[in-house]
Amino acid sequence: MNATTIKISQLLLNEGQIEGLPRNPRFIRDARFMALVKSIKDLPEMLELRELIVVPFRKKFVVIGGNMRLRAITELGYTEAPCKILQTQTPAHILRQIAIKDNISFGNDDSDALANEWDKNELDSWGYEFPVFEDLDEDAEPEEKLPKPDEDDMIAVTLNEEEKEVWLQAKEHIGIKNDKKAIFRLIEFMYQCENEE
């Protein structure tokens, strides 16, 4: 499938106009939208690498993948966009898959590598969002169940009696009873101390 350039006036956002294809379920908030606009402005070559995915519809084209990018390039004053055109007879169930799969990130970021090997200012300027740890409420019930032992995001710590006593004293000292919350608070404290040096 080759890419082609299409005038923006010929491109339609997916608003559910194709039977069997619901409207685009993605939205973007103002700050993130401006980050996308900046990203395209700073590196327009990315549009050639990640074209809009469109399907012919009533002498125009509905955007199946890239609705937010279309909004951003319209904001930037572009008059045309690189697109990959699906066949007119592409079934709705395939269009639905493409619309969703275009936005799924199957991988996970390695936070340690990002923090230690990449330049934070560059990442910020490119629109990368770092995870935010909320201020933990000691009295709040956990919103999710604990992970199963075989899940990647679980850390198991085995303490002997002496270590357990030190851990209990540390939790009491910082005033948090929940182990998970206490660990995050201690990590945050160590990080702050390290950055003050």
Pick the CATH number of 3-101 from 3.40.50.1220, 3.30.390.50, 3.90.1530.10, 3.40.50.2300: 3.90.1530.10
Q: pLDDT per residue over 14-29, tens digit each?
A: 999 999 999 998 888 8
pLDDT band at 138 (very low <50, low <70, confident <90, very high): low
Question: Residues 127-141: what's their mean pLDDT?
Answer: 61
pTM (two decimals): 0.64
pLDDT of residue 30: 86
124 in Cβ contact with 88 (< 8 Å): no
pLDDT tens digits along 159-183: 788 888 878 877 777 777 777 777 7
Report the alpha-carbon distance of residue 105 to residue 144 in Å, rounded.
22
- Structure tokens of 184? 């995050």
Cα separation, 52 vs 67, in Å, equals 8
So where are the chain's domains? 3-101, 133-196
